[in-house]
Every structure is written in C-alpha cells, then in structure tokens.
Structure 1
C-alpha cells in the first residue's frame, strides 16, 4: 500500500520504534484491503482520502488507552474470541434495564451470573428529542443521551465490563442521521460542503425516478422515501422517517467522518459495532438501493481501518436480507472473511416461530439449506427475539420446496401470532400492515408469542407447561446452532407483553414497545426461590442450557450446522462435524410424543451416545428413540467423551 518513502514519513509520527513497527505492520497487513476498496468506490479520489484517513488513524492510535492496546494484542493472539462456545450475548436498553449507565454497572454480577460475555446496549448515543425511532435518529455520535449519563460514564462502564471479560456492543447508525444533527443543520443553512453529505433534490424528477423501484420500510407512518424540507429547499432522501436524513456515502467526506467516529468510540471502549441499516447506504437508480456492491467495499475499508488502529474491535452487520444477499456481508470471493465479523441469522429466528406454529420442520430444513457456507472466521448472531418486529422473511422458493404457498404461509403466520387463527396459543400485535403487499409483521415478547400469556390467563397448567417447553426449545436451537446466541432482556424471566407502552406518547404509535418492557428486578430476585413458577422454570432451564453450551467445544462458530433429513416432519435434525467428533441435535417441535428410528442416529453417532443437555446415555439398538413434547437433545458419541 505504502512504499518506502511514505513509510519513512510515517515513522516520524512515533516517538517509540515499537509503536511504529506495530502500526506499520498492521498497515502492511490491512492496507491492501483498505486501498483496494477505497479505489473501487471512489476512484481517483481515493488517494487524497487515504492521506487524510492515515492522519485520522495515527491520531486514534496514539490516543488509544493502554488497557485497550493490551486487549488488541490478546485478540490478535486469539482471533476466534467471538466464536467460542462461552460467548453468550445479552441485549438490553440501558434505561429499561437499569435506568442509567451507572445503573447498568451496578448489575454486572447479574450479567456475569447469567454467563454473559457480550452486552449489546441498544441505541444510547444522543438522539433527537421526542420521536426518534427508538434511538436510531442520532443527533450527536460523540455524546450519550443525557438521561443515561455521559461519555465518561460509558467509558467507565466499558472498563467495568472488560474487567469481567464482557465486551460492550454499541449501535452505529450508518445510513442516516437525525435532521437535527450538526451536518443536517449546516446543510439547511446552505453550506455546500454539508449539503453534499445528503441526497437533496430541487424537484420530484429524481425522487420519482428512484421511487419506482424503492420499497417502503414503514408504510403506515412514513410512506415514501423522500420528504420535502422548506429550509433545505428540496426533497431529502428519508428511507425510514422524515426526521432521519439518509447520508450520501458517494461523498468521501462521509466515509472519513465515520472512520473517525468508529475509532473515537473504540477508544472509549466499544468492542463490537452493530452497523445499523448497513444494507441501505449506497443508492443506485433502478434498484431497491439495498445490498449494492459498494456497501461491501465500504464496510471492508472501515473494518481495515479499525484493524490497523484497534484490532480488538469487531463489526456486526445489521442486514435483514435474503440469504443470497446476506452472505456478502460476511464476505465472498475477494471479500471472503473481510467485511463484517458477524451477521444476524434472521432466518433462524423466523423459522423457529414458523415451525412452532406449524409443527412442521420441512420449511425450516429448506431455509437452512438455502444458506451458503459462511467464512470460517465469521459468526452468526442468533436470537429468539430482539427489539424489532418479526418480519416473515420466508421466500416463495423455500416455501414451494416444502410444499407450501409462500404468500398463504406468511398470512397464516400473521394470523397465528396475532391470535386470530383458531387454536393459536400466541398473543402478538400486528405491526405495519401493508395493504398493497398483504405484509403484516409481528410484535410481541418471546413468552407471549410462545403462549405463556394466554395459558396463564386461562389458568391451564397443561398449556403453561407447553409454553415453558416452547420457550426453552427455541432457546436450545439458538444456543446450539453455532454462533453468538443473543438473549433479549427479560426473556430469561419469561416476561410478558407490556401493554402500558400506549401510555407513553413517544412510544404509543409504535407497538414494538410492547416487547420492550422495563426489567422486572423483583421477579429476577424471586425466581430462584420460586423454581416451580413459569419464570423460575424458564430461568433455571435457560441457565442450564448456557452452562452446557459453555463446555461444548462442538459449538465453536467456525463449524457449520447442516440439516439431516428427518423422517418425522415434527423433528428438526442438525449435524455438526467438529474435529472432536460429530454432534447431532434433535428438536421435537410439537406437543406430541415422537419415536425416531434408532438407526438414523446410529448412522451418524455410532452405537452409543450421550445427550449433553440431559446427561442421558443412549444405545441405538432396535428400539426407537423416544422424544417427549418439545424435547431437545445434543448428542455426541460416547467414545468422543472417553
């Protein structure tokens, strides 16, 4: 990337030869990725950008605290730190979890006791006042929400987490800023430099041309993708909401701003960046303006810059897209393993809920087969629920292979989880109904969607048992798939829908707040002493699953889970080929008993196996293997265990 003369110039920026060697060796390693991607996006402008970026990286490198430099060295020695089976994630809103950042710091014992090593605090950088899309309309990336604390509080929390081996994860919204952001204010004031940070059009000619192929993200309360702004004197590209202005990443200055922001926040102790709305950042006429090739080049360049300064940092792509598009966020061909370190396996979550409703795993099998292998140095983020709605991301192709009509099945799932379908166990709320497409997404807590809310209201112990088993089965799949399992705050306590969201003016229009409750610390203290309660059973069961996972090397994320064809449509079978031996996972997605032919498991595991979850020994002879309702097995050969 840089020849001998520039290297000599850079050496003068260091007082210590060892620091100079470290920086220049990293530059030599990641420089080609950085330069190649910048050239691919910006062409002749890349060299000038690279010069300015080098100054930004040098400044951040000199400013990096000593304990974070030590973390960098540790991560370079163990590059699979995000892939190990003991990596357990937890997602929470800081205010809903503990009020403030200092409050979060007072509950680290709780997180550590749960086995958490990865804490994702939902958007906490300073958003616009009032409605702000749950914090994703950022007004200032270098400040924390005033009610949560200060940037120094964030650094202190990061240090406290780091001392317990927990990585702080933060959202970085890449596609847009709040219209109150300094850049947008300067653009409205007529500053030509900052107007070029955004997409502003004087009339409807170009917006109408783009709209012909653009989908709508929030058709209910934010139809269309452009908003007229009087002060700016034009139509502003606003994919998500009128108060969120899309950024123009074709401008190298925007890239430089975000590279600087990433390094600044990394030096504050952020270890994983969730790259929010990453799929949308490059605009191209005649397309959906999602998943464009420049997105992957830009991400690779940002990652290379971060690796040079702070190799202890990782990227997670928030790309909720089809499998054929999703794999590019982890890297394919020349980008293989060089884009993001982690991506959401959204399909796994969707298929869990689909299969719990249908009691049929055929669609699950087809959806998993559609995923190409990921780079071995990357990992999936898996989850039962998250802060967002559930969009029924089921392709017509996968549905057809499973003998289903895709549109009809998506309609069934919306009816089922809103409680409209006869016999449904679920309590959910329809989110963003789109009459043009029939699309109905779903809000609801994991426990309410799994049937616990309705069962408790009915006072039916049998239905409560089924709901508890569904919750634990869903988490067993997530914990066993191979990646970073992400537990959503309150799910470990089987917390139900919070219908009080309607009483908060800024939350009332958005029913996703029904599954964003405040943490019930009284319940958290009580569950240990109430082991027979639904919350106690879920909590104990989940903690057991986590403990088993932590000691199961077969669950290292470098290993893929592969579908094994199941002779019973109610049962999902997954196989993992680890150097220590084969693991076969068995999941009964029904409230009925199932008997599996013993030879099916013997063919994979040999005659003798042990279930890591239950500790039971199995001998696969002539008798079938009996599965209780919603039973999960993680089977390994007994010879492997010694």
Structure 2
C-alpha cells in the first residue's frame, strides 16, 4: 500500500501524512478483508446505464425502491446492465444532492436491505456527493456548536477577501453567513447554495471521513461510483478554485483505493465544464477516473438536430482522442440536471448558443444562469425534457418520435458506455406543474409517477410514451447484442455533408459497422456502395453509389 501513502504525500505536508497514514492504512486493511460482491472487470457492449431516482415510482404503503424494483423487473431488467440511483440518502434540498447523512437511506426509499435486493439483480452506481454536505447535517450542526471534532471541516472566509475570480456555477454568492451557537457569525464557502456547505479537504480529517464513506459505499454494493461536482473540492484564494492539482490528486487517491480494495469498481467524474478540462480527469489514462461524462454531447446533438446541421457535431467528434486502454467515455443525452451549455463554449459561438436558448425558451424550455467574474450573467443550462428540447410545440408525435430516436441512435453508436435517463425511456414531456411546485427549473425534467399511472400509460398502445419506450428499448437491445459497439472498438467519424452524422465502428472493412443519421427534416442523399445487413431490421441491403435517407432516418449497417 506504499503507493497510496505516496499519493497522500502529494496532497498534504509530510507531517500530516505521517499523522493520518496509520488510521487510513487500518481502514484499508479492514476493507480488503471484507467480502464484497464480485465485480465485473472493465466494460463491454452490454453495459448500458439507466439513470433514475430511487423514488421515481410510488405506490401507497411501499418503500419506493421496492416499487422501482417492480418496474425494473417488468420493463427494464433486460435492457440495462447498470442502474445509477441518484442520491437515495436523507437530504434537505436539490432533490438529494444536499445530503444530511451519507450512511442512511431516505426512509421513503426504504433501507439498505432494499438497496441490497436491487444490487443482486443489477449493478448499481452510487452518487458520492463529495464536495458538499447539507447545512442540516449533523456534521455542520456540530460545527456550529463548536464541537472540536468538526473544527476546520468547512472553509471559513473573511467576506472582504476578493473572490471575484472564483468559478461560479450559480448566480448565488460564494460565501454564506451563518450564526454559530455562541452568537458569533462566520462566512462559509457554499459553491452551489446556502444549504450545500463545501467540505474543507485541506483538513486531513475531512479526507479520512470521506474515505470512510467511499469504503462504506463499496461495502454496500456500489460497483460504479459517481463523484458529484468533484472539480470544486480544493480551494485556493486568488484563483478559479476549480480543477486544481490537489483535486486531481484526491481523485487519483480514490482510484488507488478502489483498485486496492475492490478492483472492478468504476470511478466516474462529473465535471460539467468545457471538453479540455473535462478529459483532464482521465489523468494519464490509468491513474484517475475510469470514465468521464461526455458533457458536450447533449447540447451538440440538440443543436445539430435543432438546426438540421451536424457540422459542429462532426468536427467535434472527429477530433475526439480515444479515451485510453483503461478508460472510456460515459455518454449521455439527458440527466436529472439541465442540458449544460458551458461544455460547448468554444465549440459553438456565443451568439449561436444565445440563439438556441432563445428558440428553446420560445418553445417552453426554462433556463438557469450563472454569474460571470464581471458581474454579468450567462445561460448555464437549459431545463427541459430531451424529448421536448428536440421538438416544437406544434410538432406531431410522429415527428417527435423520429427526432428522439435519431438522437438516441447517435448516443448508442458512439464509442463509450451509454447512459439513458429514466424520463427519456418513458418519453416524458415537460413537467411545468412540478417546476412551479418546487420553484426549481430543474423539476421540469424530474417528474415522479404512481405505479398504476406509469404502467397504464406504458401499456397504452400507440401513445407517445408507449411508442418511445418500445422503439427505444428495441434498439438498446440490438446494441447490446453487437460486439462492434464494445467501448474499446475504434471509431472513425465519416464526413458526409452537413445534414448527415455518420461514423464507422471497427477497422476491418469486412468486420465493421456504419451508422448513418439524417439529422435534417428533409431527404438527404448519402454516397455508399457495398453489401450490408441493417442490424436494426435484419434486412440485407446492397448499394451501388448512393441511398436517399428520409427525414431523420438512421441506419446501422454491418458489412457482409
């Protein structure tokens, strides 16, 4: 374990390392002796992730995890190999991301036995909310009481210090004023909200406590661990306080620990930032995150279909460097958050981003803004279901289905592990009532359902929800059965004009797969020759020069 001690020395002074190493080593020795569920080593084409809340489906008198298990068994188990359960711990705000107690299950969801039951049927991703904790937590309550055990757990700051260069993901202030039990006042660092108190990782005791949480999650069956808002963990006054070297070292330490204790556990970093910064969390390809979220993908696919022009998507995708032998991309289109815009700044002009925002607001989307260092505000994310983002209010359901499936074909075709949000698989529309009820724009894409209602709607033949569920899950199952979709199989982007997004998986012409997408609302000619099988329909197809693609048509063509 000496290499873990060396990693610790890259974070703290030698005196601090010497002080905390015996305790950390003891935790690791104990963890290694704990019997864990056997973990899959690496990933393959079958690995498709479902993103969901633990209370997504509800029935009276039942813990929501038990109800989710019913829906999963009936509708989802053969489609998804991994379930990302968004924070299922007790919380005070932000639909789970303001954790009150890291080691408890929200009573509405059930208990650890319910989590264990689900983990016996599928692999589970836990959220590790490592940057901040709830202002209602025992940790912060004891800190305000002056309990010395929690001294230095949070970042205190003189409100007169210039923090204008600090990267702001929200329009709220960096510091929040809190009254201590002794009557004094302190200003505490709160990156996201006054209810989400940043942990102070400069204090080695904080790191030890959070490693204890990490090991606990592994013990409870987490096979994928998502590091939420991880880019903000380390603070240095006078800079941006994001992506700092000590932050990277802490993530590398987390990877060292999971590799030592439960090899096969996957670390995923959630950093909703421009692409260059995002992929820095791969480290050197073997010492930091196993996967990083592909954050430019959701806004780029949306922009391309909205404009009927895939030039920006093609240019971006062709310049993607392979993730590396021991890493891969975590691809997605929709999640519990909005569609982030920061990741495409520098790929698409600011004028075009603002035009897209204006168009989507006109069609019913909500928008969240961030504060810039000069005091101005810029759109940070679009809040909308992905189905409604792709379509106009006046569109018919036939067009909605076509656009939606084309977008998800792109998602499922790209190199990496794809993830599908529960609202997408359900074909959900904007939940305006939910947004009004909570006062949060993000609630527009977080609707919860009674078990009776969702089963009735999914079984209603010909409905928009039923069609999207059926047709999307069909192509998911086809994707899982095709070895050329393995994340390690090479990808080549084919430049075939602005109205087409096309790519090839595999280097061998006799063992390759061409995925073609017409992203425009008009027929497009595509030049192609040879004999193929369309693996979606099973139809053999021969081309001698070109094919005409109907609006939003896509083909998965395997060479024969």
Q: Is the TM value for this pair above 0.5?
A: yes
Q: Is the contact between residue 168 and residue 269 of structure 1 (CA under 8 Å) also seen in structure 2?
A: yes
Distance 2:96 2:460 in 1: 36
Aligned mates of 1:49, 1:368 — CA distance in 2:
44
Cα distance, 1:287 vs structure 2 = 2.1
Residue of structure 2 equivalent to 1:109: 73
Deviation at 1:192, TM superposition (A): 4.2
Question: Shift in Å at residue 393 of structure 1?
Answer: 3.0
- Offset at residue 536 of structure 1 (A): 2.8
2:357 to 414, 417, 420: 414
Kindly indicate whether structure 1 or structure 2 has the higher relative contact order, using CA contacts under 8 Å at least 6 residues apart.
2
CA distance in structure 2 between the partners assigned to 1:250 and 1:384 by the alignment: 35
Cα offset, 1:305, TM superposition: 1.4
Helix, strand or coil for the counterpart of 1:116?
A: coil
C-alpha contact (below 8 Å) 1:136/1:173 kept by paired residues: yes
Who is 1:581 aligned against?
Answer: 511
Aligned length: 548
Question: Residues of 2 paired with 1:520 and 1:416: CA distance?
Answer: 33
Relative to structure 1, the CA distance from residue 634 to residue 444 in structure 2 (aligned partners, 3 Å threshold; closer, same or farther) is: same
Match of 1:480 among 395, 413, 417: 413
> For structure 1, which segment, 353-362 or 428-437, has the greater mean C-alpha deviation from structure 2 after superposition?
428-437
More helix by share: 1
Contact 2:366/2:384 (CA < 8 Å) preserved in 1?
yes
Describe the superposition over 1:142-194 as per-residue Cα deviations: whole angstroms up to 9, x where unpaired: 11112222233333332xxx2x3x11111111111112222222221223442
- Alpha-carbon spacing, 1:328–1:56, altered in 2? closer, same or farther (3 Å): same
Partner residue of 2:101 out of 130, 140, 148: 140
Question: What is the distance in 2 between the residues matched to 1:112 and 1:391?
Answer: 27
Q: Superposed, which structure 2 residues align to 1:585-604 within 5 Å?
A: 585-598=515-528, 602=529
- Secondary structure of 2:27's match? helix
Question: Structure 1 residue aligned with 2:140, among 184, 207, 223?
Answer: 184
Q: Is the 8 A contact 1:613 1:634 kept in 2?
A: yes
- Deviation (angstroms), 1:570: 0.7
1:328 equivalent in structure 2: 280
Matched, 1:300 2:249: no
Instruction: Show CA shifts across 1:354-413 (max 9, x none).
Output: 1111111111122224433312222222222111011223545433xxxxxx11111111
Contact 1:356–1:589 (CA<8 Å) still a contact in 2? yes
2:13 alignment partner, one of 36, 43, 48: 43
The secondary structure found in structure 2 opposite 1:125 is coil
Q: Give the SS at the match of 1:106.
A: helix
Kindly indicate whether residue 112 of structure 2 is the aligned counterpart of residue 151 of structure 1. Answer: yes
Residues 620-640 of structure 1 deviation map (CA, whole Å, 9 limit, x = unaligned):
323x211111111222211xx
TM-score between both structures, scaled by the size of structure 2 = 0.92
Residues 356 and 590, structure 1, Cα contact 8 Å, conserved in 2: yes
Distance 1:631 1:527, change over 3 A: farther
Shift of 1:261: 0.8
Q: Judge which range, 134-143 or 107-116, deviates more.
A: 107-116
Q: Give the alignment partner of residue 512 of structure 1, picking from 442, 447, 471.
A: 442
Aligned counterpart in structure 1 of residue 309 of structure 2, from 360, 372, 397: 360
1:534-545 equivalences under 5 Å are 534-545=464-475
Structure 1: state its 5+ residue gaps.
1-26, 400-405, 420-425, 456-462
Secondary structure in 1 aligned to 2:222? coil
Deviation per residue, 1:259-292 (Å, 9 max, x gap): 1111112111122111101011011233211111
Matched, 1:197 2:145: no
Give the CA deviation at 1:341.
Answer: 1.6
Q: Does 1:346 align with 2:295?
A: yes
1:38/1:301 contact within 8 Å kept = yes
CA distance in 2, matches of 1:324, 1:550: 30
Residue 371 of structure 1: SS of its match in structure 2? coil
| Other-structure match for 2:231 | 279
Greater Rg by CA: 1
Distance 1:570 1:409 in 2: 18
CA contact (8 A) 1:381 1:484 kept: yes
Maintained 8 Å contact 1:366/1:398: no
Residue 393 of structure 1 pairs with residue 342 of structure 2: yes
- 1:217 Cα shift? 2.0
Q: Do the aligned residues in 1 keep the contact of 2:83 with 2:125 (CA within 8 Å)?
A: yes
Equivalent position of 1:4 in the other structure = none
- Give the secondary structure class of the aligned counterpart of 1:587: strand
Deviation at 1:319, TM superposition (A): 1.1
Q: Where does 1:626-641 land on structure 2 (aligned, <5 Å)?
A: 626-638=548-560
Q: Is the 8 A contact 1:237 1:245 kept in 2?
A: yes
Judge conservation of contact 2:255–2:267 (CA < 8 Å) in 1: yes
Partner residue, 1:20 = none
Whole-angstrom CA distance in 2 between matches of 1:433 and 1:233: 27
Contact map agreement 2:489 2:506 (CA 8 A) in 1: yes
Give, in whole Å, the separation in 1 of the partners of 2:311 and 2:503. 13
Residue deviations 1:414-435 (CA, integer Å, cap 9, x gap): 012112xxxxxx4322233768
Counterpart check, 1:381 vs 2:330: yes
144-153 vs 433-442, greater mean Cα deviation: 433-442
8 Å CA contact retained: 1:85, 1:555: yes
Q: State how far apart, in whole Å, the 2-side matches of 1:259 and 1:55 are.
A: 12
Decide whether aligned partners of structure 1 residues 94 and 259 sit closer, same or farther in structure 2, where only a CA change above 3 A counts. Answer: same
Matches of residues 492-503 of structure 1 in structure 2 within 5 Å?
492-502=425-435
* Cα distance per residue 1:220-244 (max 9 Å; x no partner): xxx2100111216321001111121
Matches for 1:543-558 after TM superposition, within 5 Å: 543-558=473-488
Cα distance 1:378–1:520, how it changes in 2: closer, same or farther (>3 A)? farther
Instruction: Rate the CA distance shift 1:503–1:363 in 2: closer, same or farther, 3 A.
Output: closer
Among 603, 607, 615, the alignment partner of 2:538 is: 615
Q: Give the conservation status (yes or no) of the 8 Å contact 1:142–1:151.
A: no
